Chain A
Amino acid sequence: MALVFNEEQRLLKDTAKEFLAGNAPVEALRKLRDSKDETGYSKELWAQMAELGWAGIAIPEAYDGLEFGFMGLGAVIEESGHTLTASPLFATVVLGASALILGGSEEQKKTLLPAVATGELTLALALEESNHHNPTGVALRAEKSGDGYSLSGEKCFVLDGHVADKLVVAARTSGEPGNSAGITLFLVDGDASGVTRERRNMVDSRNAAVIRFDGVSVGADAVIGEVDGGWSVLEPVLDRGRICMAAEMLGGARECLDRTVQYLKERDQFGVKIGTFQALKHRAALLYTEIEMAKSVVLDALSAIDDGRPGLEQLASLAKAKLNDVYVLATNEAVQMHGGIGVTDELEIGFFLKRARVATQILGDSGYHRDRYATLCGY
């Protein structure tokens, strides 16, 4: 158990901070938005990030990764939260690669993970089917068909879904929506016949897609993990995703605080800096305490993944619930304390406000995670 980064991890974090500030600041997201970029992220940037090794941070050395662990990956993602950098880091490296690492066959891992580590192969997790996170609510059918399966149904809120090379699809092979048993994970080519992908323009200018599957044929070798037993892979994948998303949110919340405090020190009203006003001091100080507590939670959860500590479910829900609340608070407070300029598109705070709401919905809002945590604790 470690609640501090070691020296290597700190070094990585500093490198990430410097690289992202120089190559992918919030301004870069604004450009993607304004140019209506069809990919939704810069492929050149992603190639550079992969060159730095980031695509392979959490991939085992046996599959050409760096095997640097989630503390390291979390450090990079936290920094990407400061800059709101759009990249396949989350959908491909956290969600997609984790599904392969935790559930993939030796053949799948051998052929796919090295390509993920170099940044050549991108992935997306197709899970949600409604407007609220509901991982057991999978209804998309996978029917036995010859030696393989035929997939039919619709997925939504698939991050990077419209551009990913391969999709990890949660499908129902038995049971009813709501059951965790009977879910099977399939690996499907993004451009397979019968797949229709449509990007949705989200408020945060980041990628999310609706994907229709009309009798999409896959072989038996497309199954990740066990047939009907996908949940045992899916749940830990989602928990890793929740914890890493919490790391991004921590970075975003901290950035909002830093920018706001800076503004309180610069802005004059009534002949003094507005940071002298106790009403604003208390708001800023309160936000600071919330962020520091949230930081402890995120670090503990990241280290728990690396240590293989039991009880990760609780820590993931704790981290996601906490960071949902803190990020929403941070962005609301940042807008309010910036005053009029806070509601202009020119000020970048608005990008954080928008990202916070999307990030909150990714893999479960606070209500979802508080309910899950309480259930895990037996009440």
Chain B
Amino acid sequence: MGDLEQFRLEVREWLEANCPESQRKPITREEQVWGGKQRSFPSEDARIWFERMRDKGWTVPDWPKEYGGGGLTEAEAKVLKEEMKRMGCRTPLYDLGIWMLGPAVLEYGTEEQKREHITKIARGETRWCQGYSEPGAGSDLASLQCKAEDMGDHFLVNGTKIWTTNADKSDWIFCLVRTDPNAKKQEGISFLLIDMDDPGVTVTPIELISGDSEFCQTFFDNVKVPKGNLIGELNQGWSVAKALLKHERKLMSEIGQDTPGPSFGPVQAALEYVGKGADGKLRDAHLRDQLVQHEMNFRAIGLTHFRTFEERVNGVADTNVPLIMKYVGTEETKRKEELLLALLGTQALGWDGDGFNQDEIMTTRGWLFSKALSIAGGTSEVQLNIIAKRALGLPD
């Protein structure tokens, strides 16, 4: 562990010297830097911070150096994450390419695909969105209908994808498409990358209960896609998708920590909006009990994340435990949002305009947004099915 501690000191020193003071404050949604052609920086400091991290390869710390990554080991990447969290450093670059597509291309892509796509993701030059679900294929994802026909020198894509997050702002989309209509459900699916600028691609935003429209529906009308955009083997897209889903679920389990929200946590909100009585206890006994239960659960989840990491490092990993993290993480985040709502009372029920400050509005919107967490990336019910099958060995 001596080397790792040395590395920690180096990281600390580098962050101290290179992270602008303004980039060490909690981030709002508007201040996030996303990659791609539409990339913009909310401030000069954000640009400097992004460029320094990019040049260090630390936008994607554990990716190989030859593709623009930092080349760190898992343990080193964890140290970097811890140090950034400790100092409050903002995430310099947000992109689905980092969290989801990248790891899959690194695993399944050709050398050419890695050079083309991985490097651009690392450098924040392309923004990616995901095309999995369809209006008729949600939890039963494998029933998807969007098809790619083999036309000899290219695929011809027709169909539609839904819940394509930020499709209207993205440069590329990674899609699951049906390439063999006669094969059994999972076996006729391929994993295809499509340029959003291609003729025949159109995007319509979907307005959500939170007022956001970051989800879209994307339509493909006779879109020509080069053969070289296929990731993995033809009709083997389901394996790529499964590998990628693991990353999505891990991300979803951690999203509560990274999603922009109010500047206060539940404890602070309780002290501010409910207050303590003469006995030093929160005035509302019921809310106090709910609060402490959430705090305990949250701590237990954190310890479980840490335990799975330690088990891996020590070579005694129980590979079933990570299966629970998406379920417990998203369900607990939903409970936290309900709790915040209850703690703030009517101050968490404003929509916009006067009478509600930014934190209060974010509490309201965050609560509404959180409802999607246990649906996207595999519903909680699907997660429980997976746990029952894989961890408990219960029959189909």
Question: Which residues of A are interface residues toward B (Cβ below 8 A)?
Answer: 2-4, 10, 261, 264-265, 273, 275-276, 278, 280-282, 284-286, 288-289, 292-297, 299-300, 318, 321-322, 370-371, 373-375, 377-379
Contact = CB atoms under 8 A, between A and B. Distances in A.
Contacts of A284: 388, 392, 394
Given A374-B291, A379-B267, A379-B270, A285 B387 contact: yes
A371 B295 CA distance: 12
Interface in B282-317: 282, 288-289, 291-293, 295-297, 299-301, 303-304, 306-307, 310-311, 314, 316
23 contacts: A275-B394, A276-B394, A276-B396, A281-B388, A281-B389, A284-B388, A284-B394, A286-B384, A292-B321, A293-B304, A296-B303, A296-B307, A297-B300, A299-B303, A300-B303, A322-B300, A370-B292, A373-B295, A375-B280, A378-B267, A378-B280, A379-B271, A379-B292
B288 A379 contact: yes
B384 A377 contact: no
Contacts of B314: 4
A294 B321 CA distance: 12
A81 B341 CA distance: 40
A223 to B, nearest CB: 32
Interface in B180-195: none
Contact of A299 (B271, B291, B307, B393): B307
Contacts of B292: 370-371, 373-374, 377, 379
Nearest to B303: A296
A285 B391 contact: yes
Given A4-B316, A318-B300, A370-B296, A288 B387 contact: yes
A284 B320 CA distance: 14
Contact of A285 (B281, B291, B388): B388
A292 B392 CA distance: 12
Interface in B369-396: 381, 384-385, 387-389, 391-396
A239 to B, nearest CB: 16
A296 B392 contact: no
A370 B297 CA distance: 12
**Which of A285, A373, A377 lies at the interface centre, i.e. has the most chain B CB atoms within 10 A of its CB?**
A285
B391 to A, nearest CB: 6
A5 B230 CA distance: 45
B384 A294 contact: no
B292 to A, nearest CB: 4
Main SS at interface, chain B = helix
Nearest to B285: A371
Given A275-B395, A374-B292, 10 more contacts: A4-B314, A280-B394, A282-B388, A285-B385, A288-B387, A293-B303, A295-B304, A296-B303, A374-B289, A379-B292
Contact of A374 (B282, B300, B303, B388): B282
A288 B391 contact: yes
Contacts of B393: 261, 265
A289 B300 contact: no
Nearest to B279: A375
A300 B324 CA distance: 19
A293 B301 contact: yes
Nearest to A325: B293
A294 B300 contact: yes
A273 B276 CA distance: 53
A104 to B, nearest CB: 33
Nearest to B305: A296
Contacts, number: 115
A370 B294 CA distance: 11
Contacts of A4: 307, 310-311, 314, 316
A282 B381 contact: yes
Contacts of B271: 379
A379 B281 contact: yes
Nearest to B290: A370
B321 A281 contact: no
A31 B342 CA distance: 52
A282 B304 CA distance: 21
A293 B293 CA distance: 13
Interface string B216-258: 0000000000000000000000000000000000000000000
Given A373-B292, A379-B282, A379-B291, A3 B306 contact: yes
B132 interface: no
A261 B391 CA distance: 11
A84 B291 CA distance: 33
B387 A289 contact: yes
A363 to B, nearest CB: 17
B324 A288 contact: yes
A289 B282 contact: no
A261 B392 contact: yes
A286 B323 CA distance: 12
Interface string B39-75: 0000000000000000000000000000000000000
A3 B281 contact: no
**Which of A265, A371, A374, A379 lies at the interface centre, i.e. has the most chain B CB atoms within 10 A of its CB?**
A379
B77 interface: no
B328 interface: yes
A146 B301 CA distance: 56
Contacts of A288: 324, 387, 391-392
3 residue pairs, one from A and one from B, having the closest CB atoms: A281-B388, A296-B303, A3-B307
Given A265-B395, A281-B388, A284-B392, A292 B267 contact: no
Contact of A297 (B303, B324, B389): B303
B299 to A, nearest CB: 6
Contacts of A375: 280-281
Contacts of A296: 300, 303-304, 306-307
B327 interface: yes
B388 A377 contact: no
Contacts of A3: 303, 306-307, 310-311
Nearest to B293: A370
**Which of B292, B300, B385 lies at the interface centre, i.e. has the most chain A CB atoms within 10 A of its CB?**
B292
Given A322-B296, A370-B296, A281 B267 contact: no
B300 A293 contact: yes
Nearest to B386: A285
A324 B282 CA distance: 23
Contacts of A295: 304, 307
Contacts of A300: 303
A370 B281 contact: no
B317 to A, nearest CB: 9
A3 B391 CA distance: 20
B267 to A, nearest CB: 6
A293 B297 contact: yes
A275 B281 CA distance: 45
Contacts of B385: 278, 281-282, 285
Contacts of B301: 293
A377 B306 CA distance: 22
**Which of B293, B307, B327 lies at the interface centre, i.e. has the most chain A CB atoms within 10 A of its CB?**
B307
B380 to A, nearest CB: 9
